[in-house]
């Protein structure tokens, strides 16, 4: 099978919009597919059976780039198009599918409409524009991949998408990058690089503050209320905020912004507790990559109900510690730091759960969906 992939993969800012298409590309290529991947910034190491078309990181495509995309796409002789997210569907996916007369599968990592509405912070005009974008993208797709049951239900209710057009494929994790493969010397070097005082316990939140995705900023502000309580109970904590973007004024000197960290597995290995402090209005369409990365690192996780969205098998008290208000959230963090037995239990159970979410398995589901679309 020959697949044109269109995504926001940006090797220089390897966050959620990059992780899913990168690993799915690797899995599809390993299955024998030939891939032409159109994205802002291809990975430096390349991917087997894959050629890339770089479109840059600016929002508007220049004429020369568009001509290159059209020429490469026509010469590639694709069987099917895979488009990650409605924005890329609107910008490029619909036009290419019409030009090439090939089926298109839309992978909905999340609905911008849903996220903007739930935040309570967006102007009606912005929500309306997002709704029109989602509506047009959904109508043009032959199949639609969703990352959670919650997103599936939203699309069925809000946009009347028939169930037979929807396929559930959650986010995944690359287990080989985590765990015992990380040397103690490497972890110590990371601690020194970040300037974390030796002996401090580390509470980590992977939280890139991306303007077009407000949930992380909402969550960080909510989390800082819990940090104030933490500071009153422990004086040996470093609250590590991973990821670049806007700096939200922290409540105390215990908070450390790392900026973008290239070696995420090492940063998580350094951590004592990892958190998902998402209040109900900080909606994400499906399984958050960071949740599975925390589990894969074998770390105890403290989460709100919203933070664990999409991971249906996860049980509070077994795989993670649940807290939905600031006071309880701070206490669960203290519990995980103070009780080594509890931390080990939660961490090992979370790791066992992560093994059900390997990208290779999920990539096969995407391959099957793309194959099905070609047979319509």
String of DSSP letters for 248-280: PPPSSTTEEEEE--S-HHHHHHH-SEEEE---T
Quick check: 16 pLDDT over 80?
no
Local structure of 54: helix, strand or coil: strand
Quick check: 338 pLDDT over 60?
yes
The CA distance from 329 to 9, in Å, is 33
CA angle 356, 362, 366 (to 5 degrees): 160
Provide mean pLDDT across the span 150-175: 94
Q: Please check whether residues 325 and 220 belong to one and the same domain.
A: yes
Cβ neighbours for 197, distance < 8 A, ≥ 6 positions apart? 238
Whose tokens are 């912004």? That residue is 257
Q: Please check whether residues 107 and 200 belong to one and the same domain.
A: no
Quick check: 287 pLDDT over 70?
no
Nearest one of 294, 303, 270 to 349, comparing CA atoms: 294
String of DSSP letters for 113-167: HHHHHHHS-S-HHHHHHHHHHHHHHHHH-SEEEES-HHHHHHHHHHH---GGGEE
Q: Please check whether residues 138 and 231 belong to one and the same domain.
A: no
Q: Please check whether residues 288 and 187 belong to one and the same domain.
A: yes
Quick check: 369 pLDDT over 70?
yes
Phi, psi of 123, deg, nearest 5:
-70, 145
Q: What percentage of the chain exceeds 90 in pLDDT?
A: 73
What range does the domain containing 107 cover?
2-172+358-374
What does each C-alpha distance from 123 to 117, 118, 119 come to in angstroms? 9, 12, 11
Quick check: 121 pLDDT over 80?
no
Provide mean pLDDT across the span 230-252: 93
Whose tokens are 């990975």? That residue is 43
Q: Please check whether residues 167 and 186 belong to one and the same domain.
A: no
Q: Note whether 265 and 281 are within 8 A (CB).
A: no
The CA distance from 120 to 362, in Å, is 33
Q: Please check whether residues 338 and 191 belong to one and the same domain.
A: yes
pLDDT in tens, 321-330: 999 999 999 9
**Could you tell me the two tokens for 352?**
């066992």
> Can you give the pLDDT at residue 296?
95
Q: Please check whether residues 236 and 142 belong to one and the same domain.
A: no
CATH number for 262: 3.40.50.2000
Q: How far apart are the first and last CA of the chain?
A: 15
Q: Please check whether residues 223 and 78 belong to one and the same domain.
A: no
Q: Note whether 284 and 110 are within 8 A (CB).
A: yes
> Can you give the pLDDT at residue 120?
80
The CA distance from 248 to 105, in Å, is 37
Quick check: 316 pLDDT over 90?
yes
Provide mean pLDDT across the span 267-290: 88
Range of 109-118, 280-289, 334-343 with top mean pLDDT: 334-343
Q: Please check whether residues 144 and 274 belong to one and the same domain.
A: no
> Can you give the pLDDT at residue 115?
83
Q: Note whether 81 and 3 are within 8 A (CB).
A: yes
> Can you give the pLDDT at residue 57?
63
Local structure of 56: helix, strand or coil: coil
> Can you give the pLDDT at residue 211?
66
Provide mean pLDDT across the span 231-239: 95
Q: Please check whether residues 297 and 213 belong to one and the same domain.
A: yes
Q: Note whether 213 and 283 are within 8 A (CB).
A: no
The CA distance from 134 to 126, in Å, is 12
In this predicted model, which residue has the larger pLDDT, 284 or 375? 375
The CA distance from 43 to 205, in Å, is 25
Helices (H), the chain: 16-30, 63-76, 86-88, 94-100, 112-119, 124-140, 149-159, 184-194, 215-233, 264-270, 289-296, 326-338, 340-354, 359-374
Quick check: 244 pLDDT over 80?
yes
**Range in 166-180, 189-203, 318-332 with the lowest mean pLDDT:** 166-180
Q: Please check whether residues 273 and 364 belong to one and the same domain.
A: no
What pTM does this model have?
Answer: 0.88
Q: Please check whether residues 183 and 214 belong to one and the same domain.
A: yes
pLDDT in tens, 24-63: 999 999 999 999 999 999 999 989 999 999 998 655 677 8
């Amino acid at each position: 099978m020959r697949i044109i992939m269109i995504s926001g993969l940006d090797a220089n800012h390897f966050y959620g919009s990059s992780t899913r298409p990168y690993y799915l590309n690797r899995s599809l290529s390993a299955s024998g597919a030939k891939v032409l991947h159109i994205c802002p910034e291809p990975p430096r190491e390349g991917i087997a059976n894959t050629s890339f078309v770089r479109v840059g990181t600016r929002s508007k495509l220049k004429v020369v780039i568009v001509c290159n995309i059209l020429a490469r796409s026509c010469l590639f002789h694709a069987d099917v198009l895979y488009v990650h997210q409605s924005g890329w569907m609107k910008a490029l996916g619909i036009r290419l599918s019409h030009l090439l007369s090939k089926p298109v599968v839309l992978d909905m990592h999340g609905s911008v409409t849903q996220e903007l509405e739930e935040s309570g912070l967006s102007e009606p005009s912005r929500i309306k524009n997002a709704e029109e974008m989602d509506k047009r993208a959904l109508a043009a797709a032959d199949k639609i991949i969703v990352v959670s049951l919650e997103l599936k239900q939203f699309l069925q209710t809000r946009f009347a998408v028939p169930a037979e057009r929807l396929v559930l494929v959650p986010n995944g994790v690359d287990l080989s990058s985590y765990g015992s493969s990380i040397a103690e010397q490497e972890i110590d070097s990371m601690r020194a690089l970040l300037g974390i005082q030796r002996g401090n316990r580390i509470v980590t939140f992977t939280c890139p503050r991306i303007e077009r995705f407000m949930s992380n900023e909402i969550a960080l502000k909510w989390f800082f209320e819990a940090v104030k309580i933490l500071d009153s109970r422990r004086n040996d904590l470093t609250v590590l905020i991973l990821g670049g973007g806007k700096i939200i004024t922290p409540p105390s000197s215990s908070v450390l912004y790392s900026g973008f960290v290239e070696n995420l597995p090492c940063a998580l290995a350094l951590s004592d507790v990892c958190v998902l402090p998402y209040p109900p209005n900080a909606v994400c369409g499906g399984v958050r990559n960071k949740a599975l990365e925390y589990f894969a690192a074998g770390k105890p996780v403290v989460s709100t109900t919203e933070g664990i969205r999409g991971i249906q098998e996860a049980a509070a008290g077994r795989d993670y510690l649940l807290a939905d208000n600031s006071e309880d959230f701070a206490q669960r963090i203290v519990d995980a730091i103070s009780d080594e037995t509890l931390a080990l239990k939660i961490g090992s159970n979370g790791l066992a759960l992560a093994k059900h979410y390997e990208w290779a398995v999920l990539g096969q589901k995407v391959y099957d969906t793309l194959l099905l679309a070609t047979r319509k």
